[in-house]
Chain A
Amino acid sequence: MTPARIVAGAVLTLMVAAPFLPLGVSREYTIHVLVQIFIWSFIGGAWSLMGRFGLTSLGHGAFLGIGAYTTTLLWNFFGLTPWLGAVVAMLVTAVFAVVVAYPCSRFQVVGHYFGLVTLAVGEVIRLLIVAERDWTGGSLGVTVRPAGHDSVLAMQFADKRVFYYAAFVLWLAGLLIWWRLDRSMARSAMEAIGEDETAAASVGIRVSRFKIGITVLSAVLTAVGGIAYAQYISYVNPDTLAGIGVSLRIVFAVVLGGMYSLLGPTVGTALTIALAEYLRILFGLKFIGMAETIYGFLLIVFIIFLPAGIYGSIRDLLRRRPAALAAPAGTTA
């Protein structure tokens, strides 16, 4: 049992036990925040699947929106259980992701250009939702029709703790997917990330397909995250589930935490949500806008001074220590 394993075990036990710990009045609130952290970490992890390959999407809000609105509207208007609605949503999201990813990968749209394209796409979805206000509720959003009682079929439960464990499982599933992908994709990913000059013909085709595939996976997982959030909050709104704001927040959390590590998105999400909540409590209803201003300011500062993210920076620091101890004997020719 290495110390790392013991710590991990302890943290996990704490997470499992959290809803039953005697936290008194603040228990509901703590669980609420933790559920959000689990769900958004899951979404962040989904984003990082693309982010680590230079596909910096600033429009993941689109997938959140498509996911959440599809299930909610299908349930509200047709009584279709969100479980099946989710399947529909995932299909729609997948198709949409291919439509966006295909031309981008064929013409090697990456970096800033890709960010801009996805940004615009994200806004398309948001504006579409607002424009079709007759059945989407426009910018006021729409509430998930209450089933009236606890129902697995409707994914609605009165007790937050059910959502807590569901979100916890979702988060773990996300980690597992990330981990498996990281392992199996290691080799082809290396080729994909590597120079585009090398054997464009054969490797190039694989690179394209890989990029599209990873985009679809990332999009679908994000949609699932959006569905989870919508079911938990019981309300969907184009500003919280689509558009630049939420898209940027996701990216910030992942980059701050560390884009290339398993727990990076989680660390980053936990910190940004904790920060946002802290600022909100601090400023409350006085000085409207100040909390967000400080949030934005801190984000800029972090990006400038901690480019590898918090998790990444700490890891680099820890790595450098043992390397400095091993003395290399002179230069090698």
Chain B
Amino acid sequence: MIDPLFLTEAAINGLLLGGVLALLALGLNLIFGVIDIVWIAYVDLVMICMYAVYFLVQVYGYPMWLGGIASVALGALLGVAVHVLIISPILSSAPVNQLLATGGLLFFLQSFATFLWTTDHRSVRLTLPRLEILDMPISVARLIAFALAVLAMLGLYLFLTRTYVGTAIRAVSQDREAMSLMGANPQRVYVVTSAVGGAMAGLAGALLIIQYAVHPFFGAAFGPITFMICVLGGLGNMVGAFVASFVMSEVIAISGVIWSTEMGYVIAFVVFIVMIFVRPGGILARRS
């Protein structure tokens, strides 16, 4: 029998990880919901932002909060750049071409990062207080990351429901053409959406670099999980993605303790395959 303390600790870690994964999944879903395109290279944008924070904080010694803000700003900028340079020209192309364009970006980013910074793992070392709750060591970095992720998602929710631009973004995702009849230039809405999605990637980057080391193929580790979460939650379904993030992270964390980290991933993936078979529309999809 596994020590219930280990299980609880794993469950908590799963929860904390789930928060950041949710940020990634929501960003990807936002862009897909509005623009109808999946950014395969999304987590690689996170990787670039992680490097940015690394260099700012670990190498040049700037404070972490500044690094975080810079990461968010960089993410937003990258988001806009990707949309304007790569997505815009192919908005009316066949889906396979669109997927390949962001796929090509994945190759490009991973190789360019290898060329610039080699495959060495880099991490940001923060001196943080030690925390123990009921004899369980809890990573303060993880806790902070979780809290900030939740705050960001709350912010996103308020933005989408309480602001004019946010409501317009939701409207475009429901009926792009009808919104253009209201006087909204779809291209502008796309740019704003890409900026927001990119900013979320930037924030995720800042939150991840304090927990994990970055290397050019970071996207290969976190990308597939993010994609699976999106599919599991139902592509385009924000609430579904949120729920699926925690389901996945808990499966990974708990299986990781019972068997091994890799088995954890394997089991998560098997759950994924089963779910596709049972409910391809996503966990919260209504049976049609």
B38 engages A56 (CB within 8 Å)? no
Residue of A nearest to B265 (CB): A127
Q: Cβ of B111: which chain A residues have Cβ within 8 Å of it?
A: 289-293, 295-296
Q: Which residue of A lies closest to B87 (CB)?
A: A304
Given the known inter-chain contacts A54-B95, A299-B100, please indicate yes or no for A117 contacting B231, CB distance below 8 A: yes
Chain B residues lying within 8 Å of A299, measured Cβ to Cβ, are 100, 103-104, 107
Asked whether any CB of chain B lies closer than 8 Å to the CB of A166, the reply is no
Interface size on A, residues (CB 8 A): 51
B95 to A56, Cβ gap below 8 A? Answer: yes
Stretch touching chain B among A106-114, A224-232, A325-333: A106-114
Interface string of A100-136 (1 = CB under 8 A from B): 1011101101111101110111011001101100000
Within 8 A of B (CB), among A260-290: 287-290
CA–CA, A245 to B99, complex, Å?
13
Residue ID in chain B nearest A124 by CB atoms? B269
Binds A, one of B15-23, B121-129, B142-150, B220-228: B220-228
* Chain A residues within an 8 Å CB radius of B288: 107
Q: How far is the CA of A56 from the CA of B102 in the complex (A)?
A: 14
Partner of B94, one of A127, A287, A295, A307: A307
Once A107-B280, A244-B220, A255-B97 are accepted as A-B contacts, the answer to whether A112 and B36 lie under 8 Å apart by CB is yes
Contacting residues, chain A, for B110 (C-beta < 8 A): 292, 296
Is residue B51 contacting chain A, with contact meaning CB distance below 8 A? no
Indicate which residue in A54, A119, A131, A297 contacts B40 across the interface (CB closer than 8 Å): A119
Q: Quick check: is A167 within 8 A (CB to CB) of the other chain? A: no
Q: Chain B contact residues: over half helix, strand or loop, or mixed?
A: helix
Chain A nearest Cβ from B210, distance in angstroms? 25
Min CB distance B116 to A, Å, is 8
**Do B93 and A307 touch across chains, with their CB atoms under 8 A apart?**
yes
Say yes or no: A115 contacts B107, CB within 8 Å: no
CB atoms of A252 and B103 under 8 A apart = yes
Q: Count the B residues whose beta carbon is within 8 Å of the partner chain — how many?
A: 56
In the assembled complex, A86 has its CB within 8 A of some CB on chain B: no
The secondary-structure label for the interface of chain A is: helix
* Residue B112 is within 8 A (CB to CB) of chain A in the complex: yes
Contact B273 A252 (CB under 8 A): no
Q: Which residues of A contact B230 (CB under 8 A)?
A: 116
Q: Select one of B40, B96, B235 contacting A51, CB under 8 A.
A: B96
Which residue on chain A has the smallest CB distance to residue B219? Answer: A244
Are A56 and B273 in touch, CB under 8 angstroms?
no
Cβ-based interface call for B108 (8 A): yes
- Which residues of chain B are near A107, meaning CB under 8 Å? 280-281, 288
Verify A117–B276 contact, CB threshold 8 A: yes
A193 contacts B by Cβ under 8 Å: no
Also in contact, A124 and B272, with CB within 8 A (given A119-B227, A293-B108, A303-B97): yes
Smallest distance from the beta carbon of B48 to chain A beta carbons, Å? 13
Closest B residue to A111 by beta carbon equals: B95
Find chain A residues with CB under 8 A from B265 CB: 127, 131
B101: Cβ under 8 A from any A Cβ: yes
Cα A104 to Cα B273 in complex, Å, equals 11
Interface residues of B in 260-286 (CB under 8 A from A): 260, 262-263, 265-266, 269-270, 272-273, 276-278, 280-281
Q: Is B7 in the interface zone, CB < 8 Å from A?
A: no
- Cross-chain contact A56 with B115 (CB below 8 angstroms): no
List chain B residues, Cβ under 8 A from A251: 96, 99-100, 103
A43 interfacial by beta-carbon distance below 8 Å: no
B224-266: CB near A (< 8 Å → 1, else 0) gives 1001101100010000000000000000000000001011011
A71 to B37, CA, bound (A): 37
Contact, CB under 8 Å: A244 / B269: no
Taking a contact as CB atoms under 8 Å apart, the answer to whether A300 and B96 are in contact is no
**CB pair A303 B100 closer than 8 Å:** yes
**Within 8 Å of chain B (Cβ to Cβ): is A99?**
yes
Residue B89 CB within 8 A of the other chain: yes
Closest to A138 in B: B262
Contact with A307, one of B36, B97, B116, B262 (Cβ below 8 angstroms): B97
**Is B161 close to A, CB under 8 A?**
no
Q: Is B32 an interface residue (CB 8 A)?
A: yes
Q: Are the CB atoms of B280 and A104 closer together than 8 Å?
A: yes
Within 8 Å of chain A (Cβ to Cβ): is B193?
A: no
- At the interface, yes or no: B84 with Cβ under 8 Å from chain A? no
Do A115 and B95 form a contact, CB below 8 Å, given A120-B224, A131-B265, A296-B111?
A: yes
By the criterion CB–CB under 8 Å, are B106 and A248 in contact? Answer: yes
Q: Which residues of B contact A121 (CB under 8 A)?
A: 273
Assuming A124-B272, A244-B103, A288-B118, what are 10 further A-B pairs, CB within 8 angstroms? Answer: A51-B96, A112-B38, A243-B220, A248-B100, A289-B114, A289-B115, A290-B111, A296-B105, A297-B104, A304-B101
| 23 A-B pairs with C-beta separation under 8 A | A58-B103, A103-B277, A104-B276, A112-B36, A112-B99, A119-B40, A120-B231, A120-B272, A123-B223, A124-B269, A124-B272, A127-B224, A127-B262, A128-B269, A244-B103, A248-B104, A289-B114, A289-B115, A289-B216, A291-B111, A295-B111, A296-B109, A303-B97
